[in-house]
Amino acid sequence: VDAEGSIGNFMLGAAYSRDVDLGFDNYRVDATYFLYPWLKSTISYANLRDGDQTANDPTIALGLTAHLRANALVGLTYTHHTRDYNLPLGPTTTTFTDTVVLGAQFAF
């Protein structure tokens, strides 16, 4: 189930899913605000789990996207994992780390 709406420069969306077989819930909330016609900021909260994980992975992501031209954009996204825990991966364990992603897209 999902829903999205907008008022002026602000957009808000939410989604929810339930896995009956594995018995867990996934949900997320996204907000977008256009600071300028060519610059948008985003924030999202997601509480997701896939079948391989033993616990949900709640995250908060902040993003900024600049549309340089009609066919080119640059984006920066920071993702913070709000829960610290270890997941087993083979003989070792790993922890979730915060990430920063810088991306560019071009279409022709």
Q: What beta strand segments (E) does 8-89 contain?
A: 10-19, 24-36, 39-48, 57-69, 72-81, 86-89
Pairwise CA distance, residues 53 & 24, whole Å: 11
With bands split at pLDDT 50, 70 and 90, how would you rate the model's confidence at 19? confident
Report which of 6, 4, 74, 3 is spatially closest to residue 34, judged by C-alpha positions.
6
Residue that has been written with the tokens 């009609």 in this structure? 70
Residue-wise pLDDT tens digits, 26-48: 889 999 999 999 999 999 999 87
Query: What is the total count of domains within the chain?
Result: 1
- Check residue 18 and give its pLDDT: 82
- Beta-carbon contacts of 93 under 8 Å, excluding residues fewer than 6 positions away, are 86, 87
Percent of the chain with pLDDT over 90: 57
Residue 9 DSSP one-character state: T
Specify the pairing of strand 99-106 against strand 72-81.
antiparallel
12-16, 55-59, 84-88: the lowest-pLDDT one: 84-88
- Domain extent, residue 6, equals 2-106
Residue-wise pLDDT tens digits, 45-77: 998 776 666 667 789 999 999 999 999 999 999
Higher pLDDT, 75 or 17: 75
